[in-house]
Structures are given as structure tokens and as C-alpha cells.
Amino acid sequence: MKSFTYERARNPAEAAASVLRKPDAKFIAGGTNLLDLMKLEIETPAHLIDVNGLALDKIEPTAEGGLRIGALVRNTDLAADSRVRRDYAVLSRALLAGASGQLRNKATTAGNLLQRTRCPYFYDTNQPCNKRRPGSGCAAIGGFSRQHAVVGGSEACIATHPSDMAVGMRALDATVETVRPDGATRAIPIAEFHHLPGSTPHVETALSPGELITAVTLPKPVGGTHIYRKVRDRASYAFALVSVAAIVQRDGTGRVALGGVAHKPWRIESADSQLPRGAKAVMAELLSGARPTRENAFKLSLAERTLGAVLTEAKG
Amino acid sequence: MKFESPATTNPIDQLKIVGQSVSRIDGPLKTTGTAPYAYERHDVVANQAYGYVVGSAIAKGRIKSIDLGAAKAAPGVLAIVTADNAGKLDKGRLNTAKLLGGPEIQHYHQAIAVVVAETFEQARAAAQLIRVDYAAEQGAFDLASLLDKAKPNPITAGPADTAVGDFAANFAAAPVRLDARYSTPDEAHAMMEPHATIAAWEGDKLTLWTSNQMIAWNKAEMAKILGMRAENVRLDSPFVGGGFGGKLFPRADALLAALGARAAKRPVKVALQRPLMFNNTTHRPATIQRIRIGATRDGKITAIGHESWSGDLPGGKADGAVAQTRLLYAGAHRMTATRLATLDLPEGNAMRAPGEATGMMALEIAVDEMAEKLGMDPIEFRILNDTQVDPEKPERPFSQRQLTECFRTGAERFGWSKRNPQPGRVRDGRWLVGIGAAAAFRNNLLTKSAARVRLDNGGIVTVETDMTDIGTGSYTIIAQTAAEMMGVPLEKVKVRLGDSAFPVSAGSGGQWGGNNSTAGVYAACVKLREAVAQKLGFNSAEAEFADGEVRSGNRRVPLAQAAADGGLSAEDEIEYGDLAKKYQQSTFGAHFVEVGVDAATAEIRVRRMLAVCAAGRILNPKTARSQVIGAMTMGVGAALMEELVVDKRTGFFVNHDLAAYEVPVHADIPHQEMFFLDETDPMSSPMKAKGVAELGICGVAAAVANAVYNATGVRVRDYPITLDKLLEQMPDVG
Ligand SMILES: Cc1cc2nc3c(=O)[nH]c(=O)nc-3n(C[C@H](O)[C@H](O)[C@H](O)COP(=O)(O)OP(=O)(O)OC[C@H]3O[C@@H](n4cnc5c(N)ncnc54)[C@H](O)[C@@H]3O)c2cc1C
Ligand code: SF4
């Protein structure tokens, strides 16, 4: 770990101003991802701005009938919120499928969105990794790639985004609200928030340097049956091989997002429209153009079978 | 004391304290965080500095140059030790690879430097500034591609190859035959406490406060590596947070703490950071196994053959996967063969039931497959081929063998009769449900073990031995033994372990610690009883030790009185004659597992488990049960998730932390039961006990595999059994 300086920001403007002063700065929230990466010198911020003191820890109704989730709301609190459990159950279930109780107590909404990949080569600084060291190569291609992406990957990187929460949010059409160092705010649709790796796998989100996430908003509830199904080797405390977030209406229409298959929560609106025709039809569209490795080709049939089970469950 | 003839009645048979389910006497220390583990022994020596280990970034090749400049100049740095400035170092007898590499590199993450600094954070930060220029060489990393080049290699349990009768002809002639290949992956010990040592020099004397299973071995090894006289090395390891074989031999933490302390001229502590442990230390080596079984149509095995291939660094050892096949089932014509390939992966070595665990993983699937071919119940097939003698040497009977009883009892308790022999037929909601069974079988090993016992004038009995407690309960069973022998309550016994200044014990390994170390304490107590009797004027053969008194006829004297004018002390060692040659001493069990396999995703979840074991006298049912259910849990890990994944291009275990190397969590183990059959084994020792800690893991994974087969009809022969290996053959879902 490189030594760093540290400050506690008291309001978003101060945090942003501080970032402008110190280009090597990073925000720290729960620290459950950032600190691990700093110990391994995968992240080497020279300055940390602790955002835990910003009053961004509330869940409030929006004028549009949705919910505004503060960037610092802990995963545990978000999953337990009665409005979330009633109207956005897929999010609650996705959160509870992630990490462990202790981690969820610390992990924040913003931090969860921004957690980095669990690719083991990314974690080993002796190994080539375009995401960690642009231009060094990708050790996962041709290596151990069982966990990796089957769709949307590139010659440069086949990592997945490991978040469960983000998959639920993608199914819910959430929006990420931010403030930039110059004070400008914007709202980024979750579909555009995470990037595909392309030739720049180190650029993971739409955030510009120093941009602070203040909240995530959920639109008005859409009803339906909410299911989050996470498939993994170990019963708990493991990242998804494949996960399915689904909202299914009585008439069989609905939405599907997948986790564990791509560099971002994976949803294609045109695939949603295939839902009434069943899992095979959805996957034909959702995973069209998939390029799995030999080790993770099973994820294609796994995703389809899992969605099939989810749709059966939704019919009740 | 030499144990040469079967044990007769002795004071242990009273079973007032031995054999009782006593809670761990060290439990309060552990639950209050006051048990001193190596890295946290802040009080043993002042002025401790911190060492951080740097591991090699390549698997094979040479270091061309190391640039220490920036690291040396970093804040707080006191010293940096590399092979260049470490002085002459020998290699330990028990290690295959050197603990400090360079310029030659033998495996990935082999230690190449230790940075010593005032704080841990400074040492770590400086370590990350070291720049190394390597000349990498292509190594051999793929066992499967080297089978033809592998050479015969002896195993701990005997020669590489054994043969009885004419296997080839009789296998070929058998009306029912199985010929199948199985594989088990490299596995990590992944114990909770990492390897850790504090080292301090006083002149040419070295003290290591460390975490180690085998104190005497490691004292000798450290002396050899450092070129010192053994009496100048002291090890102290009173508490060990798990080892599973990973702490049998010296590791880099101990050597680098010693070298770091010498260079920095002050005490240094070193713990191996978790992501380094998987490639830096030893692991259970992967195996590829071939099993052939031939039988008559009514299920009698006529020919059984087991071959195993594993790999290791040059000069390393083979995994002994075939060992149990030599002894488990009858059959007149038999062969086993062990082949070792040269690999440039990290050093393979002992892990809980080394050889037995891997061999039983394959053999007990093979037996299940064979039973199916015969149209027999797999338990009846096993019972039909049970033997009371060593099948390779029929003149050697087993001292005790209750394999059949274990199966019968377990089948009854588990509800085996409800098993549908047709696979894939039982459904519970989304789950396909199956049950499976497998034999558990591990030998009982005898090795000498010494202890010293002291009585003071307060009536306190203090036991000292270099035996270790790696979480097993050694403290407790040793206290129970001394209390029983001396006729005092448990509270009157103090147990001190893990210090090389104490008499040399068996140590913890090979499930031999419990029986041998308590037998050593028994021997010392027999001597102390004689000394007490003499002091108090009793005839030691007649004196009875009970309730803190010594009694004979109507004379009774408080035990403490024997020590009235200063303490009384006795030391002795248990040594063994040739009973283990005349009788095969083994422990047996039967594992039963029920699994559910998700019909859609093929996720496998264990639903319930039962083990029935027969393992000699159970010295403490509570701690023994903990050993067995812990081993069952580890067996589930081996069955369903544990695998060190080899990157065959560059030669290292890729998933080298606890996020990526998965071991079972609570949610994976919903319901376990275990049950001991009554048994005493007078051939084993005066304690009539045997080991249980490794028995518990043998066969578990195969029972899981057999249950998965029963649930789905998909036979997986390559561990771990993960959903991707089932998916293609799973029934369609809508
Ligand atoms: C062992 C383990 C298992 C796990 N398993 C799972 C799992 O199964 N599923 C899952 O979804 N997750 C899992 N996680 C990940 C966990 O969810 C994340 O670590 C956590 O959500 C990160 O939140 P945090 O607040 O601690 O982020 P931090 O570590 O504090 O920050 C993460 C990143 O976000 C940035 N950041 C934080 N707040 C803001 C802000 N307001 N604006 C802009 N940038 C910000 C930081 O600069 C940093 O780059 C696991 C983690 C661990 C350690
Ligand atoms: S997949 Fe991406 S994160 Fe993993 S090694 Fe390749 S570039 Fe790095």
C-alpha cells in the first residue's frame, strides 16, 4: 500500500473541490473494495476523501412516485427498506444475494456500483492485465476464464462486473445521479453507466474524473413478480456464475437482466419482448453474439435454464 | 515404556474422566481472545519489527538482478534479506523446494526477499518497491500431458508398486468389469491462521515463536537450514490456528523471520500474507487415477487394480492414493502402482489424510459404479467383499475392523433402505434428490512420544510435552489422561504444550497425535505413580489413585503429600514393539450423504450427512466429534468446490486467495450427524485409542459424488463436481 493523505468531506461541494485540487484523489465509502485493492497496490490513490460524512444516507420518495436512494445508503439498509421490499423486491433480493452480512453492513450504494472486477489476474499484480495496466495484455484470455464474460467482451478484456445490486437496478431502469467538481449535476441512466471493455477496459463507467455519485433513483414501481436468482458453486458468499433479475407481469411480459455474463449488468430491451415466448427466445436475442471461452461456454445454457426456472417460478 | 504386548486392564479403563465429553480446557482462552497465537505474542520479546515477504513473479527460471534501492530508502526500513546476503543456507530434509529462492527460482511465489521495517505497513509498502528482473524458463505444469514420463515412486505406506496373484489375467477373465479414470485437483490447506513466526536471537541462540504442528522436526530442520546446533534453536508453538499438514515442515515465515532478525539485529515477526500462501507453501497434489475391478456375477471381487499419477518438483514425493486399495477390499488378484511426474508447480505435500483422501475419492466412486454394474446394493457389495485380514498379506489380521458394522448402523440411522437405486427418480420441488454412501478408512500410525509429569505440594499435576494442539483438543485429552492416571479432578491438571524445551512427542499429523501423545503421558504418569507410591510407602502395584488420594487397604493419604518437601517429577516415553507389524491397525467408518441437485441450474447442495466411525477408544467424544464433522465439511469442499486452478501457460495457482479458492461456508453444511461405535483396540497402545481426525475426511467426497449420481444419473469422475460438469446431461426443463 502506498502512503496517502486523508480527509473527511463535509458536503458534496467540498468533496468535489478537494478532488479538483488533488488529481490522484479517490473517494472512499465503505472501503470494502477500495482498501483491499490499495493493499495490493492495484489502486494507488495519493489522497482519500472520505464521503461517509456527507448526508447521503436517506431513502426518499421522488415526485415521480419512485425512490431516491442516497449514495451512502448501506446495502443492508437498502435491502431491508419496506418500500424496496414491497415495490422493488428484485433489488432487495439481489442485495441479499451479495457478499456477506458484515460486508453489506459497510458496503454503500455508490461503492457497490463502482466495485471492480473479481478477475483473478486483475488481482495478481505479476500478471498482465489491460484493466490494471493498460497495454500489458489480458492473462484471462487463454487462461482461467470460468468466471468470465461470455458476451460483450473484447480482445482486450473479458472480465465481468461482479455486482448483484447493479443487476437488480438495471432491471428496474435506475438512474445514477452525480455532481461534478465544477458543481454541475447530471443523471446517467444505468444502461449507460457501466461501459463495455472495448479497447479501454480500464475505463469502466461514464463518470468523469472526480465525479461524485450522490444518489440512485428508481422510477415508479412497475408491479409484477420480482425474482433474483443467483447461481453459484457455493451456497453463499460467492460471486455469481450467472444471475437472473426478472420482473414478470401476469400476462407474461416483463424484463430480464443478467449478471455474471458481461462487463456490465446485461439487458437488451428487445430481448425483454421475447419473454412471453419463453427462455430460449429471450436468450437467442440477449446472448446473440456471445463469444464464450471453452471454460465458460456452460454459462450460455446455464443462463437459459435459469431463466426457464425463473419464468416457471413467476407463473407460481 | 515399551508397548510390546496387547494392553490389559489399566487405570485408564476406569473411564471416570477419559472417554467423557469434556469441553476443551483451553476453550475460555480461545473465546476470550487470550490464547496466544504466534503473530500476536507481543509480550514474549520487546522491540519487535515487522517482516514482509516478497514472492517470485515467475514459476521457473532465474533472477537476473534485484533492485533494492527504492525499498531500502523507504521510510522505516531496517533491513532487506535476499539469497544474495542471507549467508549460506542449507535445504531442509523435509522440504523439497528452498524456502528462500534466488538466483534460481523453483516455483511461483517462492520467497525471494523479506523486507524488515518498523511497522507492518512500512514493510509492505517497501516490499512493493523492489524491482526484479527475471529470466523465465518454460516449465512443466500439466500433469495430464506427462503421464508417460512419470516414474515409479515409493509412498509413505510402502513401495511404489504391489502385486499379488495375476491381476491382468484375472481382470481380463472377470465376467463383470470396471475400468475407469478419475482425477482430483490440487487443493490448499486454507487453514484459518496463516503461517506466522516471531524470531529473536540472543548471541547464537535462536527462539522462534511460531505456528507449527511438529516441534522436534522443525527444531532440527531450522538448525540444519541455518547451519546451527539444534540445541541453540528453540521453538514455541502453544496454539496453532489449524494446519491440516500445511505446518508440518518449516516454512518461509520461520526462516525469513530468523534471517530478518539477524540482519535487523532485533526481533522480527513475519506472517505469510494470504494471497501468497497458496503458491508459496505446500498443497495436496492433484492426481489422475485409474481403477480396474473385476468380479464374479454374484459380486465377489476377483481382481482389483489401482494406479495413480501425481507430480512434484524434482526430488519431491508422490501422492499415496493407492495405499488404501491395498487394504480395503478382498480379492485374490491385485495390483497397485504409483507414478510421479516432474512438475514446476509449487511443492506438493501432506494434507489431511495424504493419499488416503485422494485415493478414497476415486476408489469409493469406482465401488459404487461396480455395484451398479452388478445390479447390487453398493453397501451389500462392500460388505460382501469385506475382509478381516490384510488382503496382500493374509497372515496379518486387522486388530479391529468394524467396517460392516459401520455400514449397517449407518444405513439404519440414515434410512438407506428408502434409497431409490434408479438414479434421477426422486424429486422434491425444484430439487433432484439422491443419497450416496462411501467407506471411510484410514490407518492408525504408531510413533514414540514422551512427556514429563510433575506433582506439586498443592496437588497440581503439570504435564509438559512438545505435543501441539492444532485445534484438535490435545490440551483436553492430555489433561483427561493425567487426571485419570493420577486420580485427580480435571481442574487439578495443567497442560503445557508446544515448547521444544519439553520432551519430544508424536506431534500433530497423520491422525497419530491423540493416541500416541496420550500414551506418552500415560507412560510418564505410570512412573510418577511409582514415585508417589514409593514416597508415601505404598506398594505401587496395589495403590489406587482416586479423588486426590492414594489408597491401599484402609490406608489413604492425600496425593499432594508426596510432594510436601518439593515437587515430584517423572518423565517417560511410549515406544512400540512389533504389534503394528503383526496386526494391521486401522480406523473405519461409513459416510452417508443426501444431496439436492437443482433441476434447472445443476447447483448441488448437501442436505444431510451422517458418519458412523469405529476408531478404537474415543478419548473425548465431544472433541472427537468436532474432528469428524470438521473433516466431513472439508470432504464436502473437496467434492464440490475446492480446486487450485493451474495456469498451464505460466505455472501457478491462479485462485490464490479465499475469495477465489472456495471452501464450504455454513450455508453449505446444513445438517451433520456422527456416531461412534463402541470399540477398544488393545493393540494400539495402553490408551486403546486410535486416530479419528483424518478418518473423517476419507470417503466423504465419494459419498457426495455417489449421491449426485443417484440424484441425477450423471457420473462425474473429475473433482470438484461443479454444475458445469452436470449441465449438459441434466434432464431438460421447460
Ligand atoms: C469477500 C467479498 C465478497 C463479495 N461478494 C459480493 C457479491 O457476492 N456480490 C456483490 O454484489 N458484491 C460483493 N462484494 C462487493 C461488495 O458489494 C463491494 O465491496 C461493496 O459494495 C463496495 O462498497 P463500498 O462502499 O465499501 O465501496 P468502497 O470500497 O468504499 O469504494 C469502491 C469504489 O467506489 C468509489 N466510490 C465510493 N463512493 C463513491 C461516491 N459516492 N461517488 C463516486 N465514487 C465513489 C471509490 O472511490 C472506489 O473506487 C464482495 C466483497 C468482498 C470483499
Ligand atoms: S479479463 Fe480484464 S481484468 Fe481480467 S486479466 Fe484480462 S484485462 Fe485484466
- Classified by CATH at the fold level, domain B2-35+446-579 comes out as Aldehyde Oxidoreductase; domain 4 (3.30.365)
| pLDDT bracket for residue B731 (50, 70, 90) | confident
Residue B101 has pLDDT above 70, yes or no: yes
Give me the architecture of the B398-444+585-734 domain, per CATH. 2-Layer Sandwich (3.30)
Nearest ligand (C-alpha, residue A139): 2
How far is the centre of ligand 2, averaged over its atoms, from the C-alpha of A228 (Å)? 27
Helix (H, G, I), strand (E, B) or coil at A121: helix
Range list of β-strands (E), A166-307: 175-179, 185-189, 212-218, 225-231, 242-248, 254-259
A206 pocket-lining for ligand 1 (C-beta < 6 Å): no
Fold of the CATH domain B38-138+198-279: Aldehyde Oxidoreductase; domain 4 (3.30.365)
* Per-residue confidence band for A17, with pLDDT thresholds at 50, 70 and 90: confident
Are B699 and B360 in contact, with CB atoms under 8 Å apart? yes
**How much is the pLDDT for B568?**
97
Q: pLDDT tens digits for A154-168?
A: 999 999 999 999 999
Using CA atoms, how far apart are residues B320 and B698, in angstroms rounded to an integer? 13
Q: What pLDDT digit, counting tens, does each position of B514-568 carry?
A: 999 999 999 999 999 999 999 999 999 999 999 999 999 999 999 999 999 999 9
Bridge partner residues of A205 (DSSP): A194
- Identify whether the C-beta of residue B452 lies closer than 8 Å to the C-beta of residue B463: yes
Q: Does the pLDDT value for residue A23 go beyond 90?
A: no
pLDDT given for residue B370 in this prediction: 98
Q: Tell me, what's the ipTM?
A: 0.97
The pLDDT score that the predictor gives to residue B640 is 98
Distance B664 CA to ligand 2 centre (A): 27
pLDDT, one tens digit per residue, over B680-711 is 999 999 999 999 999 999 999 999 999 999 99
Q: Do A124 and B654 touch (CB under 8 A)?
A: yes
Residue A12, pLDDT > 90, answer no
pLDDT over threshold 90, residue A19:
no
Q: Which of the four pLDDT bands, split at 50, 70 and 90, describes residue A16? A: confident
Percent over 90 (pLDDT), chain B: 99
Using the atom order of ligand 2, give the atom closest to the CA of residue A117.
Answer: 3
- Residue B734 pLDDT grade (very low, low, confident, very high; cuts 50, 70, 90): low
Contact B522, B449 (CB under 8 A): no
Q: Which residues pair with A175 in a beta bridge?
A: A189, A217
Please tell me which residue of chain A has the smallest CA distance to B600.
Answer: A305
CB of B708 closer than 8 Å to CB of B595? yes
Sign of CA dihedral B117, B121, B124, B130: negative
E-strand ranges in chain A read 5-8, 25-28, 47-50, 59-61, 67-70, 175-179, 185-189, 212-218, 225-231, 242-248, 254-259
Percent of chain A with pLDDT over 70: 100
The residue ranges of every structural domain in chain B are 2-35+446-579, 38-138+198-279, 398-444+585-734
pTM for the full predicted model: 0.98
Q: Same fold for the domain at B38-138+198-279 and the one at B398-444+585-734?
A: yes
In the residue annotation, B662 being an active-site residue is answered as no
The mean pLDDT of A20-41, rounded to a whole number, is: 94
- Pocket of ligand 2 contains residue A213 by CB under 6 Å: no
Mean pLDDT of chain B: 97
Mean pLDDT of B33-55: 97
B-chain CB neighbours of A229 within 8 Å are 601
Q: Give me the residues paired with residue B540 across strands.
A: none
Best residue among A37, A43, A117 to mutate for probing ligand 2's pocket (most ligand atoms within 8 Å of CB) is A117
